[in-house]
Structure 1
Amino acid sequence: MQITARALNRATLHRQLLLERAPLDVADAVRRVVALQAQEPASPYLALWNRIHAFDPAELDAALAGYEVVKSTLMRVTLHAVHAADHPVFWAAMEPRLRASRLGDPRFTASGLTPDDVAGLVPDLLAYAAEPRSGAEIEGWLETRLGARVERQAWRMLRQYAPLWHAPVGGPWSFGTRQSFTAARVRPPAAADPGRAAEALATLIRRYVEGFGPASVADMAQFALVQRTRVRAAVAALGDGLERLEGPDGEVLYDVPGAPRPPEDTPAPPRLLPMWDSVLLAHAGRSRLVPADHRAAVIRMNGDVLPTLLVDGRVAGVWRRIDGGVEASPFHPLADGVWDALEEEAAALVAFLADRDPLVYRRYDHWWAKGLPVAETRLLGG
């Protein structure tokens, strides 16, 4: 069976709850979309605001405070918010990649510590972090435990490898610059067991396809940032649990049998996506949602992914919150009806942010100062 590019777009948007806001609670929604990128504390909140009907940010506050939804370094070696029940298998799937990238990093190896040292150190670290500990407290514990000063970069590599969760510290979005950490409540399986890692990756790949598919091997490898050889083995292990499709350019795509694939003419309402929205980064072929001629404007060279206007299911511009409302800047002219829908979204976003962080993402305004290829700019939602 062949699937068109537009049908592929609609399938992913449907699974990511971006065709229609769903009446789900926070935990169910996070599990449905698999993972939310969380480098910027506000982004999981804005991601769910785009996806959940009548989303109350206090629900995410409570889910994070109660460790029902947890924030940890996982896929692509970046911070994600995931359901706590998913963390053990996601961490186990990512462990080989985390080990190679963090414990093999020159900033870590310069400390003199080895992976064998870490294997003996991590259980004690997790025991110490059974209750939330500040970064400074853990650094002090490490120095006492090792009998030597630990460079901050080495500690950073270690905490990104170990199965630690970020503990909420308050503020408008539960996390701020003052970081605190706690041990994962359910410990992932032993890192040294490659069979467990392979089994866990197969589970992660199936969940990824459910949440972002249909997808190619290259897409799967991009989502997790793991070697394609590991992904191919995971796909083979899933066997009949995945079906094959032919993509728009003839590439092999995989999907879960019976997964929803809406008609390609299904309407896709405008959305104001947050920085680093997962749907923009989950495929090797970014053109599923990001037109090739807009990619450099949206995904910056340093890795920043700007807040975007999603129009007819594809990135059509950027937005930022400024005094007076939401500044919307499309890369090409938009129809009056689209502007009307964006006005409604912007007014709702202004109200959503009012009691939390009215000028969210303001520290990224330098990208606008440097110039963006916009066709026009309008102030909405004021």
Structure 2
Amino acid sequence: MVITARALNRSTLARQLLLDRVPIGVGDAVRQVVALQAQQPGSPYVALWNRVAGFVPERLDEALDGYELVRSTLMRLTLHLVHTEDYRAFREGMEPTLRGSRLHDPRFKAAGFTAADADALLPGLLEYAGRVRSGAEMRARLEEVRGGPVEAVVWRMIRQYAPLWHAPTGPPWSFGTAQSFVTAGTLPVLADPEASTAGLAVLLRRYLEGFGPASVPDMAQFTTAPRGKVREALGLLLEGVPGLPGGNLPKLEQLEGPDGTVLYDVPGAPRPDEDAPAPPRLMAMWDSVLLAYADRARVIPSEYRRHVIRVNGDTLPTLLVDGYVAGVWRPVEGGVEASAFHPLPDDVWAGLAEEAAALGGLLAGRDPRVYGRYDHWWTKGLPAVETRVLPGA
């Protein structure tokens, strides 16, 4: 079966709950979309507002306070929000990447630490974090056990590698600049190749459920796992190994992409008609649909990519029009400033205005300038052909 580029776009939108807002709980929504980028604390709220019918931000607060949803360093070495039931497998799948990038970072070694040092320190640190501890407390504990001061980079690498969850610190977005941590409720198995391959297989099947059909390079981009590791885990899914996703489920399907690329998918997953209507959306910064593929043209036209994904990795909040990035937006005094990269018809502007009014209601109760610290990107040149300030609620 050959699938067109536009049909791939619609598959992504359907699985990411972006063709229609769905009446679904926040925990189930996060499981459906696999994970939410969470390095900017307000973004999971905006991401779920785009996807959940009648989204109530307090429900997300409650899910975070109760650790139904957890925030931790996972895919692409960045903070993600995932369901607690997914955390262990996802973390085991990411183990080789996290271990290699954090415990073998040259800065970590230059500070006098080795992977063996971290392995020796982790049990005590995890026991200490059995209840919520501030970042300052955790670093002080590390220095106490180590018997002297440790550089900031050491604490950063250890906390990103260790199976720690970020503990909520309060409004407006549950997590602030002051970080607190608690040991993961279900500890993953670390430094075990079999566990990591099995965990990666779980993660890849969940990825295909939420983002498929997709290629091996797409899966590697989403996870930052080496392509060889991806192929190894994918082999387990294709073979139907007992005890893994695919073991007691239909095996993966293979499709041909528009350029002949081999794509994989789970049987029965939504693949809407390529002409399915896609309403306009105001996407969060770092929304996963913008970052989940090696071929980002699935959602971002190639000529806009460098304007949306900046040189340092900042991924701006975007206008999604007919399923594709058509510009960027930012909150300003009086509403949402929307900058289109190509001319938009009046009915699209009207749809964006409705979205802006609804988003304004969410932001007003939390932080009307949620992305204000990133305004500098707007002063460095964007290819906007038209900019409008759309009134908030």
Superposition misfits of 4+ residues, deviation over 3 angstroms:
none
1:113 aligns with 2:123: no
Q: C-alpha displacement at 1:113, in angstroms?
A: 2.0
SS in 1 for 2:305: helix
In structure 2, the partner of 1:251 is 261
Q: C-alpha displacement at 1:192, in angstroms?
A: 2.5
Q: 1:335 aligns with which of 339, 342, 345?
A: 345
Q: C-alpha displacement at 1:167, in angstroms?
A: 0.5
- Measured in 2, the distance between the counterparts of 1:50 and 1:65 equals 22
2:278–2:321 Cα contact (<8 Å) kept: yes
Q: C-alpha displacement at 1:111, in angstroms?
A: 2.5
Q: How does 1:60-139 map to 2 (within 5 A)?
A: 60-139=60-139
Q: C-alpha displacement at 1:242, in angstroms?
A: 1.0
> What are the superposed Cα offsets for residues 268-303 of structure 1, whole Å, 9 maximum, x if unpaired?
000000100011000000000000000011000010
Number of residue pairs matched by the alignment: 381
Letter in 2 for 1:61: D
> What are the superposed Cα offsets for residues 174-209 of structure 1, whole Å, 9 maximum, x if unpaired?
0111111110011112x1221111111111000000
2:95–2:191 Cα contact (<8 Å) kept: no
- Measured in 1, the distance between the counterparts of 2:371 and 2:193 equals 40
SS in 2 for 1:365: helix
Q: How does 1:48-67 map to 2 (within 5 A)?
A: 48-67=48-67
SS in 2 for 1:276: coil
1:344–1:381 Cα contact (<8 Å) kept: no
In structure 1, the partner of 2:46 is 46
Q: 1:266 aligns with which of 252, 276, 293?
A: 276
Q: C-alpha displacement at 1:369, in angstroms?
A: 1.4
> What are the superposed Cα offsets for residues 90-111 of structure 1, whole Å, 9 maximum, x if unpaired?
0000011000000011221123
Q: How does 1:220-231 map to 2 (within 5 A)?
A: 220-231=219-230
2:50–2:281 Cα contact (<8 Å) kept: yes
- Measured in 2, the distance between the counterparts of 1:199 and 1:366 equals 43
Q: C-alpha displacement at 1:116, in angstroms?
A: 1.6
1:46–1:273 Cα contact (<8 Å) kept: yes
In structure 1, the partner of 2:7 is 7
Letter in 2 for 1:314: Y
SS in 1 for 2:367: coil
Structure 1 alignment gaps of length 5 or more: none
Q: How does 1:294-313 map to 2 (within 5 A)?
A: 294-313=304-323
Letter in 2 for 1:160: Q
In structure 1, the partner of 2:36 is 36
Q: How does 1:310-321 map to 2 (within 5 A)?
A: 310-321=320-331
2:96–2:191 Cα contact (<8 Å) kept: no
Letter in 1 for 2:95: E
Q: C-alpha displacement at 1:258, in angstroms?
A: 1.2
In structure 2, the partner of 1:288 is 298
Q: C-alpha displacement at 1:43, in angstroms?
A: 0.3
> What are the superposed Cα offsets for residues 34-93 of structure 1, whole Å, 9 maximum, x if unpaired?
000001000000000000000000011011111110000000000000001111110000
Structure 2 alignment gaps of length 5 or more: 240-250
- Measured in 1, the distance between the counterparts of 2:229 and 2:34 equals 20
Percent of pairs with identical residues: 65
- Measured in 2, the distance between the counterparts of 1:371 and 1:346 equals 23
Letter in 2 for 1:289: V
- Measured in 2, the distance between the counterparts of 1:245 and 1:114 equals 44
- Measured in 1, the distance between the counterparts of 2:46 and 2:119 equals 37
Letter in 1 for 2:181: F
Letter in 1 for 2:16: Q
- Measured in 1, the distance between the counterparts of 2:361 and 2:67 equals 27
In structure 2, the partner of 1:198 is 197
2:256–2:262 Cα contact (<8 Å) kept: yes
Q: C-alpha displacement at 1:171, in angstroms?
A: 2.0
- Measured in 1, the distance between the counterparts of 2:290 and 2:391 equals 25
TM-score, normalised to structure 1's length?
0.99
Letter in 1 for 2:232: A
In structure 2, the partner of 1:153 is 153
Letter in 1 for 2:216: V
In structure 2, the partner of 1:375 is 385
> What are the superposed Cα offsets for residues 208-227 of structure 1, whole Å, 9 maximum, x if unpaired?
00000100000000000010
SS in 2 for 1:378: strand
SS in 1 for 2:188: coil
In structure 1, the partner of 2:356 is 346
> What are the superposed Cα offsets for residues 338-380 of structure 1, whole Å, 9 maximum, x if unpaired?
0111010000011111110011101111111122110110111
Q: C-alpha displacement at 1:155, in angstroms?
A: 0.4
C-alpha RMSD of the superposition: 0.8
- Measured in 1, the distance between the counterparts of 2:335 and 2:82 equals 31
SS in 1 for 2:328: strand
Q: C-alpha displacement at 1:235, in angstroms?
A: 1.2
1:358 aligns with 2:358: no
1:37–1:79 Cα contact (<8 Å) kept: yes
In structure 1, the partner of 2:233 is 234
